[in-house]
Amino acid sequence: MRRAGLGDGAPAGSYGYTNSGYSVYEEENDRLTESLRSKVSAIKSLSIEIGTEVKNQNKMLSEMENDFDSTGGLLGATMGRLRTLSRGSQTKLLCYMMLFSLFVFFVIYWIIKLR
């Protein structure tokens, strides 16, 4: 004797259970796929932002390097001028220092005498 609606002899609930099990797995896979897709797009946008920031930082470092090079050149030229001044006539410099010291001494002496 056959039951009505069983088809080829398989239990009535097994065909429906198998399909619902597969659909649950498919729905879960779809949900996980969407989650993974959103995470991948977030990582992609983050990596693009990091790349842009790296380019800006490299540009800024290049500009700073140029500024430091020009400052180093200016400082080198100033040091060269100071060396030239220090190699110059030491006697003139010493004479000027002595005259200035005498002038300051006489001014202070004169201020003290007036009081």
Q: Has residue 2 got a pLDDT over 50?
A: no
Residue 93 pLDDT grade (very low, low, confident, very high; cuts 50, 70, 90): confident
**Can you tell me the distance from the alpha carbon of 60 to that of 48, in angstroms, rounded to the nearest whole number?**
19
Per-residue pLDDT tens digits for 17-49:
556 668 888 999 999 999 999 999 999 999 999
Say if pTM beats, i.e. exceeds, 0.75: no
Rounded mean pLDDT, 46-65: 95
Percent of all residues in the chain with a pLDDT value above 70, rounded to a whole number? 78
**Can you tell me the distance from the alpha carbon of 96 to that of 102, in angstroms, rounded to the nearest whole number?**
10
The alpha-carbon radius of gyration of the chain (Å, integer) is: 46
Which has the closest alpha carbon to 64: 53, 76, 72? 72
Give the lowest-confidence range in 18-27, 58-67, 80-89.
80-89
Q: Has residue 100 got a pLDDT over 90?
A: yes
